[in-house]
Chains A and B, each alone.
Chain A
Amino acid sequence: MITLRTASVAAALVVATAACGDDAISDRAPDLAPSDVTFLVSLGAVADFGATTDGGHGVLLPRERYDHVEALTRIDEPDALYENLDVVGVRLDPCFFEGTGDVICLPQVRLVMQPVFDEGGAPISRDATVHAFYDVPVGDVQRLADDLARLRVAHDGSVTISEHVAPEEATALVLPHVGADRLSRVTFVSVHASNEAWTFGGFDIIDGAVQDIIPPGVEDHAQHLTSTGGTERLDASILPPPEIEAEAALWLTELDREEMDADTEAEAIAGLERLLDPGAHNPGTVDCASCHMATTGLYHAQMAQGGATAVPGVYANSQNQRMLGFFDRDPAISPRVEAETLAVLEALDAL
């Protein structure tokens, strides 16, 4: 079904494509599946695919850019964190946009990185992340998706978002398209010493200069989140208090939730659902922490309402605010990422 958004996206893509004469859309390969545009890279599966890896356009994350990120953990030396910052997730998007109004497409490849260390003979991720956004011509995004589709078919891989069946070959397809010269944005989540608090932040790279991102509805470039309930309960708070979807943010806090009347609680839960709907919110309309906490928030809300939820069980732990990546060793894929991926496929199909 061609939605209004899809039509707007398609129109924007046509304009973008026409402006770049050497980015003619190639003939379509196999029908694209979600796993062709969003996939996880199993921990430790690829020897060299991380911040220090050379891509086709430079090192994936230059040290000078990494040093602008808040210390990702309090227990690892900065050098070790940088050297062990592995790519754990890949996302293609021919039409990333943020805000409201006319759609202006920014074709991108996004890499999700987490510090990965060996513990007990097996790799494990730290509860911190860096997202690197690379501006990639829309034709390259489409061709990369096609190449990944062919790889999936050749290996009889999963069509749903998951750990890629051929990670080394998949990452080899991605690398030529990314690197420092195309790096346009870096966002991060750093973890507190207690493992119960995190800081969200990010910056754009504009004409070589770093510009901190101010999330919508937040009067600061940094957000601080705490979530102390673990698997026992949901008790989290975001600072500064978000102004957008404020009821949803309040609902995360146990005491605030208990004091809510029924109508406010219903609005709060509706807010959590909107946060997980890419048609309702994007990075230009809502803050990072609210969006990230919405998954576990909705999990707990639905479980409280009826004891059943479609949100993956990994989000039962209220400290899991991951959208796409690993929570320790467990894959964590938010319903929002699944919905965004479907929108990406719509956009590619509309070309």
Chain B
Amino acid sequence: MWNVNRIGLASACAAFACVAFSASASAEAPSRWTCDEAMYEDGVCDCGCGAVDRDCTSPTFDGCERHACPEGAVPWEHSPESCMGSACGDGWVDEAAGEACDDFEALDSGGCNADCSAVNDGWICGERAEGCAPDPDVEEPDAGGDDAGGEADAAIGVDTSADDAATGGGGADAGGSETLSDDSGSDSGCAAAGSHGAPTAPLGVALGLLGLAAVTRRR
């Protein structure tokens, strides 16, 4: 079970969301901020840090660009500064848990399959809390079972432009990923808490910080 108000930085660094960050400190973080001080109001919406990041413009987790929840936990949909046990159907694509998609349900219907391991034919699913939507280039998306996830599935703003270079300062629609490769193994973004180190991340993920969309698409 996750204590939603205490996310140790060491455990945060165990997740792929750990960020090695060398920018100078921004505004003073609130007292319950549990992430690196430099991450507060740094232009990127950070979630799972125990307090609301002023960079986050949405009250729900669809605005999260990075999260610092421990392994096995993800931002809570309705209070993204808090964390909750990750589960298929919670609306958050937990890549560390092997999820390829998440359409807010653990059913074969909709854009994502029942265990969140694959996108259904004819659908596009985004990262993090972007949900799924029918692929506009496909006439009849795979309906699976009842299309129970219609409302959630349609609620995404997935950017399908592969070379979109939106800045990282916006909401989820800006795409990109919140992880950053740090081959040195240092965890300077989480240095205060320990030595779990930042996991190595692929280049595409690193470039995600610049706002390049990374979508999972099935035809």
* Residues in A lying within 8 Å of B, measured CB to CB: 71, 74-79, 192-197, 224, 226, 228-230, 232, 235, 237, 239, 253-255
Given A194-B86, A195-B87, A255-B32, is A235 in contact with B5 using a C-beta cutoff of 8 Å? yes
SS class, residues of chain B in contact with chain A? loop
User: A75-B107, A192-B84, A226-B4 given. 16 additional CB < 8 A pairs?
Assistant: A74-B87, A74-B89, A76-B107, A192-B77, A193-B87, A193-B89, A196-B85, A197-B84, A228-B2, A228-B84, A235-B1, A235-B4, A235-B5, A237-B4, A237-B79, A239-B78
B178 in contact (CB, < 8 A): no
B106 in contact (CB, < 8 A): yes
Instruction: Give the residues in chain A near B87, CB-CB below 8 Å.
Output: 74, 192-195
Whether A74 lies near B6 (C-beta < 8 A) is no
Instruction: Give the residues in chain A near B90, CB-CB below 8 Å.
Output: 74, 192-194
Whether B85 lies near A77 (C-beta < 8 A) is no
With A and B bound together, what is the CA distance between A230 and B85 in angstroms?
A: 12
Chain A's closest residue to B108 (CB) is A77
With A and B bound together, what is the CA distance between A265 and B98 in angstroms?
A: 42
Whether B84 lies near A196 (C-beta < 8 A) is yes
B139 in contact (CB, < 8 A): no
Number of residues on chain B facing chain A (CB within 8 A): 28
Min distance, Cβ B44 to any Cβ of chain A, angstroms: 23
Whether A226 lies near B1 (C-beta < 8 A) is no
B188 in contact (CB, < 8 A): no
With A and B bound together, what is the CA distance between A283 and B1 in angstroms?
A: 31
Min distance, Cβ B26 to any Cβ of chain A, angstroms: 24
Instruction: Give the residues in chain B near A228, CB-CB below 8 Å.
Output: 1-4, 84-85
With A and B bound together, what is the CA distance between A192 and B106 in angstroms?
A: 11
Whether B79 lies near A254 (C-beta < 8 A) is no
Instruction: Give the residues in chain A near B77, CB-CB below 8 Å.
Output: 192, 197, 224
Instruction: Give the residues in chain B near A235, CB-CB below 8 Å.
Output: 1, 3-5
